[in-house]
């Protein structure tokens, strides 16, 4: 079977990591199976949909490297929805309803008070039609047989249509709700697999009958457990988990992909700069039913490991000119983000404000200042310097190395000094030791 997946965001806000996880898994499944990954902009809500959000969605997918094989917009497909709706109307699978929201709410409360499920009660065919009231439209569920499918995450699913309300598919003003246009689009776009959150499971039960009513075979479904953050359910309003915010924090796309690809599965999170091994191993049978927790601290650690893998060519455009390949290689193991590399430019070339010097360290620094001018900087200056200072002062261990590191870099911790010192200008290093 030819695999075609889709990511169908509504352009009513910014994408958060939960949305991106859905897009990623659809993309990975398509790529693993040599198929197509489509973007469908669900912009039927004309009041809330914004063109700037469409641009942001495209930019976020591009930043993540989730290349799209085609794009559709629901706002351009109303004629198709109308034609398919007319077919369903002629077949008696959609019908007009005239209750107000207040009437429906009262009826739900009555049913609940009687201990009954709040299922919509169909009106008789000869029920009077109120004058001057525009109808909303419901899809008539076939109640004669259970709705079943085998979910790629949740396994065998079984819904009793008698326990379900006929879903509203069109409002009184003629606008569309999500359920029916999505089915029409999935048929027209040849969608073979739908990967989405478990909050859509009951929608799927109704939509399976819609596929059948339109004469189409339903796609395969994978309903993933929802992603939760440290503050609970994710939302488009949680800006800190949006792509723009993560970019500003210095998060690498590969780090986000590495984490989200495996989050909620039984597979370990592996920081990989190339997503190919993640694509090759995606298996919805490995996804659990419990909510998957997104931890920003875990993302930061994965990001750090990704940064440590990046070659100079991959980051050169984001580095100060002073950080060449050798300097990048030296400082890379000590960075959390690529942006932190800029802080090391002064360590290499100066000017560097000298840190306060402990009196106990002055003997070591004086010996270093005397020895440094005579050292061959093109060989192994660090071991030559520490050897000379140890001979002159008897200092060793922390008492030897820490004062030199502080004077030369202004820091107590950092890269291997044997690799770092040859990359600092000799005159600059001598001046720093001369306190």
**Cross-strand bridge partners of residue 159:** 147
339 belongs to a structural domain: yes
Whether residue 380 is found in the same domain as residue 235:
no
Q: Does one domain contain both 261 and 132?
A: yes
Break the chain down into helix, strand, coil percent, rounded to 5: 50, 15, 40
| 197 and 95 both lie in a single domain | yes
Q: What is the pLDDT of residue 47?
A: 85
DSSP state string for 188-208: HTT--EEEEEGGGHHHHHHHH
Cα 159 → chain centroid:
31
Number of folded domains in the chain? 3
Q: Give the containing element (helix H, strand E) for 232.
A: strand 232-233
- 46 and 93 assigned to the same domain: yes
Task: Print the domain residue range for 374.
Answer: 359-433
pLDDT at 174: 94
Same domain, 303 and 375: no
Would you say 6 and 39 are in contact if contact means Cβ atoms under 8 Å apart?
yes
Question: For position 236, what pLDDT does the model report?
Answer: 46
On whether the CB atoms of residues 16 and 241 are closer than 8 A, the answer is yes
The pLDDT value recorded for residue 126 is 83
Helix axes 296-307, 253-262, angle to 10 degrees: 130
Q: Domain of 172: which CATH number?
A: 3.40.50.620
Q: Which residue do the tokens 């889709």 mark?
A: 6
Distance of alpha carbon 38 from alpha carbon 9, whole angstroms: 11
Pick the closest to residue 292 from 3, 24, 13 (CA basis).
24
Q: Are residues 368 and 248 in the same domain?
A: no
Do 324 and 312 meet the contact criterion of CB atoms below 8 Å apart? yes
CA angle at residue 50 from 49 to 55, to 5 degrees? Answer: 125
If asked whether residues 261 and 394 sit together in one domain, one would say no
Last residue of a domain, one of 323, 349, 375: 349
How confident is the model over 181-240, as pLDDT tens digits?
A: 999 999 999 999 999 999 999 999 999 999 999 999 999 999 999 988 766 665 444 445
In a domain? residue 298: yes
Residue 262 lies in a domain: yes
Q: Phi/psi at 239 (nearest 5 deg)? A: -60, -30
Burial of 34 (0-12, 13-18, 19+ CB in 10 A): exposed
- Joined tokens for residue 4: 């075609």
Q: Which residues of the chain have pLDDT under 50?
A: 235-239
C-alpha torsion angle, residues 263, 266, 269, 270 (rounded to 10) = -140
Answer yes or no: do 165 and 197 share one domain.
yes
Does residue 354 form part of some domain? no
Pairing of strands 70-73, 36-41: parallel
- Do 383 and 285 lie in a common domain? no
Structure letter (DSSP) for residue 265: B
Considering the domain architecture, whether residues 125 and 61 belong to the same structural domain is answered as yes
* 133 shares its domain with 198: yes
Q: In the numeric block, which tokens belong to residue 56?
A: 């942001």
SS3 229: strand
> Phi, psi at residue 338, to the nearest 5°?
-65, -35
Alpha-carbon span 112 to 157, nearest angstrom: 26
Asked whether residue 326 falls in the same domain as residue 403, the answer is no
């Amino acid at each position: 079977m030819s695999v075609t997946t889709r990511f169908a965001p509504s352009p009513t806000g910014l994408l958060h990591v939960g949305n991106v996880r859905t897009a990623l898994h659809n993309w990975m499944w398509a790529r693993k199976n040599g198929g197509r990954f489509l973007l469908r902009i669900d912009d039927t809500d004309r009041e809330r949909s914004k063109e700037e959000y469409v641009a942001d969605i495209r930019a976020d997918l591009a930043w993540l490297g989730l290349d799209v094989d085609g794009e559709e917009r629901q706002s351009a497909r109303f004629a198709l929805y109308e034609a398919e709706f007319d077919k369903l109307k002629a077949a008696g699978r959609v019908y007009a309803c005239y209750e107000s929201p207040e009437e429906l709410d009262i009826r739900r409360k009555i049913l609940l008070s009687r201990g009954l499920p709040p299922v919509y009660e169909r009106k008789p065919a000869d029920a009077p039609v109120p004058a001057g009231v525009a109808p909303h439209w419901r899809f008539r569920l076939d109640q004669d047989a259970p709705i079943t499918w085998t979910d790629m995450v949740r396994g065998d699913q079984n819904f009793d249509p008698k326990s379900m309300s006929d879903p509203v598919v069109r409002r009184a003003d003629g606008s569309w709700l999500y359920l029916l246009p999505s089915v029409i689009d999935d048929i027209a776009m040849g969608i073979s697999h739908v990967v989405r959150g478990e909050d859509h499971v009951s929608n799927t039960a109704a939509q399976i009958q819609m596929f059948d009513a339109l004469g189409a075979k339903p796609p395969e479904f994978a309903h993933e457990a929802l992603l939760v953050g440290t503050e609970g359910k994710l939302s488009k309003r949680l800006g800190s988990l949006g792509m723009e915010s993560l970019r500003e924090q210095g998060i690498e796309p590969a780090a986000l992909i590495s984490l989200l690809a495996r989050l909620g599965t039984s597979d370990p999170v592996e920081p990989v700069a190339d997503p190919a091994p993640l694509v090759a191993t995606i298996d919805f049978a490995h996804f659990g039913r419990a909510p998957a927790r997104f931890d920003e601290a875990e993302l930061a650690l994965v990001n750090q490991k990704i940064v440590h893998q990046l070659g100079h060519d991959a980051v050169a455009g984001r580095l100060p000119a002073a950080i060449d390949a050798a300097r990048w290689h030296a400082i890379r193991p000590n960075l959390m983000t690529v942006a932190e590399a800029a802080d090391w430019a002064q360590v290499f070339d100066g000017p560097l404000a000298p840190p306060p010097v402990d009196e106990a360290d002055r003997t070591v620094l004086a010996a270093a200042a005397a020895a440094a001018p005579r050292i061959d900087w093109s060989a192994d200056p660090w071991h030559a310097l520490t050897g000379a200072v140890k001979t002159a002062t008897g200092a060793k261990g922390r008492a030897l190395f820490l004062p030199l590191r502080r004077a030369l870099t202004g820091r107590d911790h950092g890269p291997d000094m044997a690799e770092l010192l040859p990359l600092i200008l000799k005159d600059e290093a001598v001046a720093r030791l001369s306190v």
